[in-house]
Amino acid sequence: MARNRPSGRSNRYVFLNAPFDAGYQPLFEALVFVVMDCGFVPRCALENSDGGEVRLDKLVSLIRECDHGIHDISCTELDRKNRLPRFNMPFELGLFLGAKRFGKGRKRCLILDRERYRFQKFLSDIAGQDPRSHDDDPPKLIAAVRDWLAEAIRPVTVPGGREIYAKHRRFKQNYPRLCRASKLDQTRFNFNDYCQLISVWLQELPAVS
């Protein structure tokens, strides 16, 4: 299927604000896949491991370069060790909303949560933003992200969420082969490598059964 990609580099960049831990990994992998399958470029703090760069500066730079931002605020549970919640995702959401409010660019924002109105219990200041729910379910996350990204494409030429999820499952089945071909360790997740493997697989998709 032909893709009508957004014009301009920043119009293709999508800032991903989501947990990077093992428990969220299946959702994060699905998130990266649907962004790329819709013709956009995922960006997040994992793409640059420069220890000499201040993390806040890295986040500000990424947000400045991205016209689109996807923010998953579903992981708010207390840390088992420290018994404290994680504020990184709400903090980065605040940075993005500030850039949207006070910046000159046209930024779009999608907020995800486990349940649609759960945010009212811990982040009521974003009332009116209409977060989408995914129930910790990759197919639902893919459908929500696909529908939101499709709004930036005219005419809409991306497949539906169900088809993208089916492709994501086929990609995961081919993931070990792709890692072997690229001499990568499939047990170690690397954001840049993962994006590259998705790109390679999507390009060869017509030959994939």
**The predicted structure's pLDDT at residue 52:** 64
Note down the domain range covering 147: 9-158
Which tens digits make up the pLDDT trace of 11-30? 899 999 999 988 999 999 99
pLDDT grade for 4, boundaries at 50, 70 and 90: very low
Rounded-to-integer distance, Cα 171 and Cα 174, Å = 5
> SS3 for 15?
strand
Here the CATH number for the domain that contains residue 81 is: 3.40.50.360
Tokens of 71: 């923010």
pLDDT in tens, 37-71: 999 999 999 998 766 678 899 999 999 999 999 99
Strand partners, 68: 14, 108
Q: Do the domain assignments include residue 3?
A: no
Preceding amide of 155 cis, omega within 30: yes
> 99 lies in a domain?
yes
Work out how many domains the chain is built from and give that number: 1
Does some domain include residue 71? Answer: yes
How far is the C-alpha of 69 from the C-alpha of 93, rounded, in Å? 9
How far is residue 138's CA from residue 142's CA, in Å, rounded to a whole number? 6
User: What is the predicted pLDDT for the residue at 208?
Assistant: 46
- The answer to whether residue 151 sits within a structural domain is yes
Inform me whether the pLDDT recorded for 136 exceeds 80.
yes
| Residue 121 within any structural domain of the chain | yes
Structure tokens at 112: 């995800």
Structure tokens at 5: 């990609």
Residue 125 has pLDDT above 50, yes or no: yes
Q: Please report whether residue 79 resides in a domain.
A: yes
Q: In what order do the strands lie in the sheet with 108-113?
A: 41-43, 13-17, 68-72, 108-113, 132-133
In a domain, 195, yes or no: no
Instruction: Tell me whether residue 206 is in a domain.
Output: no
141-197, pLDDT tens digit by residue? 999 999 999 999 888 889 999 999 999 999 999 999 999 999 999 999 999 999 999
